[in-house]
Amino acid sequence: MTLRLVFLGRLEDAAGVAEREIAVAGSLDAIMAALEPELSAALSDARIKLAVNGILVTDLASLTLRDGDELAFLPPVSGG
C-alpha cells in the first residue's frame, strides 16, 4: 500500500521534505524499517504524536493503516 507521510516542525528538517509517499506493508514498524535510520530515530521520540487522516492516534497498538492514509508526525508544539 501507499501511505503519505507528513513531517511537522523540526521533523521536516530531519526528513528533508515536508511530505513524502512511501510504499510499504501497513504497519508503523514497517514504515520505520523502510525509512533512513536517522529519520526513524527522530520519529520514534516518545514526545512525538501521530495523526492518521487528521485524527490523533491515542492507541498505537490498535492502529490499522489503509492504502492512501495520511500519517502526520507531530513534534511538541511551540505556538502562539
CA gap 73, 9 in Å, rounded: 9
Query: Min. distance of Cβ 12 from another protein in angstroms?
Result: 8
**Residue whose CB is less far from another protein, 60 or 77:** 77
Q: According to the binding rule CB under 8 A, does residue 76 interact with another protein?
A: yes
Burial group, residue 40, by CB count within 10 angstroms (0-12, 13-18, 19+) = middle
Q: According to the binding rule CB under 8 A, does residue 37 interact with another protein?
A: no
Which of 20, 12, 33 shows the shortest CA–CA distance to 70? 20
Q: According to the binding rule CB under 8 A, does residue 74 interact with another protein?
A: yes
Instruction: Give the interface with another protein as residue ranges (CB under 8 A).
Output: 6, 8-10, 12-13, 51, 53-54, 56, 70, 72, 74-80
